[in-house]
Amino acid sequence: MLIVLTSEQELENEAKQINDLFDAGLEILHLRKPTFTSNAYKALLDQIDMQYHNQIMIHQFPELTKQYKLRGIHLQEQARLDFDPSALDTTILVYKNKGFSVTSSFHSKEDIIACTANFEYVLLSPVFGSISKAGYKGKGFNVTDLNAMVIGMGGINESTLQATFDLGYKGVGVLGGIWNTEDSLKSFKTIYNKLKTIC
């Protein structure tokens, strides 16, 4: 599984770049813009081809999942921790019964083990030193002993793909390896094609 997370910053021609990634085979996009208002999210979603909306996980404004028929919602770590465990289970069930996916972020293997919530998949970071966040050192989490669907993030590019899967991850989440390069589409295609030789 190959997931791309959007840059936190607003990018020039961003919707076109996103459409190009989907055209090239992107499975899932995580739309994460911490400084965006609901209207700013809508403005970006309105420019992304409707045929791809059901492949987008949104990190804020969960009400947009229904309005735009998105794939589902992603709970950042703090948002997940703010839930009472029983309320979290109920929330996940409500969304799943409506046909939406629910995923979440983790920053330690122990927290994944301790969490009983039934997420479709979870993002664990940082596996390697981050490309997008200076000084964010990788922890090399080995998840070969976990049954959960764990997606590795942090320092993911074509040169770290094999090592990521060797550590037991079921997929990769890429951010800096796409957006911190000169050509986002070319970088995506390189990772996408390398991934096909591994999986």
Q: What CATH number is given to the structural domain containing 13?
A: 3.20.20.70
Name the band, by pLDDT with cuts 50, 70 and 90, for residue 138: confident
Averaged pLDDT score across all residues of the chain: 94
- What sections of 85-181 are H helices per DSSP? 85-97, 109-114, 161-166, 176-179
pLDDT tens for each residue of 22-79: 999 999 999 999 999 999 999 999 999 999 999 999 999 999 999 999 999 999 988 8
Residue carrying structure tokens 């050509």: 183
> Residue 161: which domain range?
2-198
User: What's the full length of the chain, in residues?
Assistant: 199
Phi, psi (rounded to 5 degrees) for 129: -55, 130
- What's the per-residue H, E or C state across 28-96? EEEECCCCCCHHHHHHHHHHCCHHHHHHEEECCCCCHHHHHCCCEEEECHHHHHCCCHHHHHHHHHHHH
* C-alpha–C-alpha distance, residues 32 and 135, integer Å: 21
Q: Which pTM value belongs to this model?
A: 0.94
Instruction: Work out how many domains the chain is built from and give that number.
Output: 1
Strand partners, 151: 123, 171
